[in-house]
């Protein structure tokens, strides 16, 4: 169900949003109206397309990937449920006190930053907020993930990320992909599953068309656990046309078996 949300003038001047096209910026605004009071919504590109762009020819999957890559949203999976968390939601919005509680599972947290106060930044359902949500100002900090203290380098899988990066066909956002990789604690067994899935996905039509522009960003692929996706069978019963037998006319000896006459002609 669509909901009313706030938008402030600074949104239109944000230098990070300027990196994406007009339709993607409009999608970002539209996602607020589709998100619940916690800033979560189902990761269903086709449904978003019908809700926000019913009359337009746009690539929602690519637009979501760009927003995720730039840090405006985070795409994640809990079990088989795919969801989206709008980053820094509580800074931008004050949901109505009577708005229904979220039914979408929260994004798994590997590491938590200790809070200085015990109060949650999200307004309780039965309480009225005493201050408005922060405006989307020119300061880029309002639209990118909060800075966190540096976490220790993961022990497991650190030597495997370079191998993954070398294999992944779309090399963008390496730093972000490496951070996600660290949270996953990749073992050799998990790495082997990833490589097996990649070997199949690179042959799918979506990954092959338009010079690979529909290949997910590496961080999106890792965050969404896309190695668990069902991969359609690639047709193997398609054979090339046989070589034509109508060739070599210029090399044939058309006088073979004939008798040459004195006038230079041939006869049987």
pLDDT in tens, 237-257: 555 555 556 566 566 666 677
Q: Inform me whether the pLDDT recorded for 214 exceeds 90.
A: no
Q: For residue 83, which of 108, 51, 107 has the smallest C-alpha distance?
A: 107
Domains, the chain: 1-106 (1.10.10), 147-233 (no CATH)
pLDDT in tens, 257-266: 777 777 777 6
Query: What is residue 111's predicted lDDT score, i.e. its pLDDT?
Result: 53
Output the DSSP codes for 80-120: TEEEEEETTHHHH----TTSPPP-SPPPP-SS-PPPSSSS-
Q: For residue 14, which of 121, 172, 135, 174 has the smallest C-alpha distance?
A: 135
Question: Which one has a higher pLDDT value, 131 or 21?
Answer: 21
Q: Inform me whether the pLDDT recorded for 1 exceeds 60.
A: no
Q: For residue 44, which of 84, 101, 88, 78 has the smallest C-alpha distance?
A: 84
With 0.85 as the threshold, say if the pTM is over it: no
- Yes or no: say if 249 and 100 are a contact pair by the CB < 8 Å rule: no
Round to whole Å and give the CA distance between 111 and 184: 11
Query: What is residue 243's predicted lDDT score, i.e. its pLDDT?
Result: 54
Report CA 190 to chain centroid distance, whole Å: 20
Question: Given its phi and psi angles, is residue 258 left (phi above 0), alpha (psi -120 to 50 degrees) or beta?
Answer: beta
Helix, strand, coil percentages in the chain from 3-state DSSP, rounded to 5? 35, 5, 55
Question: Given its phi and psi angles, is residue 164 left (phi above 0), alpha (psi -120 to 50 degrees) or beta?
Answer: alpha
What is the mean predicted confidence (pLDDT) over 20-27? 90
Q: Inform me whether the pLDDT recorded for 205 exceeds 70.
A: yes
Round to whole Å and give the CA distance between 175 and 165: 11
Question: Which one has a higher pLDDT value, 14 or 125?
Answer: 14
């Amino acid at each position: 169900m669509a909901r009313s949300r706030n938008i402030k003038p600074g949104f239109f001047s944000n230098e990070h949003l300027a990196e994406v096209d007009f339709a993607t910026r409009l999608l970002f605004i539209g996602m607020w109206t589709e998100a619940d009071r916690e800033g979560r919504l189902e990761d269903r590109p086709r449904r978003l397309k019908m809700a926000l762009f019913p009359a337009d020819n746009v690539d929602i999957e690519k637009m979501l990937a760009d927003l995720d890559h730039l840090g405006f949203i985070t795409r994640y999976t809990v079990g088989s449920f795919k969801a989206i968390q709008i980053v820094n939601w509580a800074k931008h919005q004050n949901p109505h006190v009577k708005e229904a509680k979220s039914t979408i599972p929260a994004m798994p947290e590997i590491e938590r930053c200790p809070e200085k106060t015990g109060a949650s930044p999200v307004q309780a359902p039965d309480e009225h907020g005493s201050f408005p949500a922060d405006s989307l100002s020119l300061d880029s900090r309002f639209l990118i993930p909060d800075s966190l203290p540096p976490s220790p380098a993961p022990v497991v899988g650190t030597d495997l990320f370079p191998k993954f990066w070398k294999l992944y066909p779309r090399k963008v956002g390496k730093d972000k992909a490496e951070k996600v990789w660290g949270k996953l604690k990749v073992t050799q067994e998990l790495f082997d599953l990833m490589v097996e899935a990649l070997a199949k996905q690179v042959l799918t039509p979506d990954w092959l068309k338009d010079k690979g522009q529909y290949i997910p960003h590496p961080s999106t692929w890792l965050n969404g656990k896309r190695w668990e996706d069902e991969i359609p069978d690639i047709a193997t019963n398609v054979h090339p046309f046989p070589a034509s037998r109508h060739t070599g006319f210029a090399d044939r000896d058309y006088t073979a078996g004939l008798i040459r006459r004195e006038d230079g002609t041939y006869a049987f």
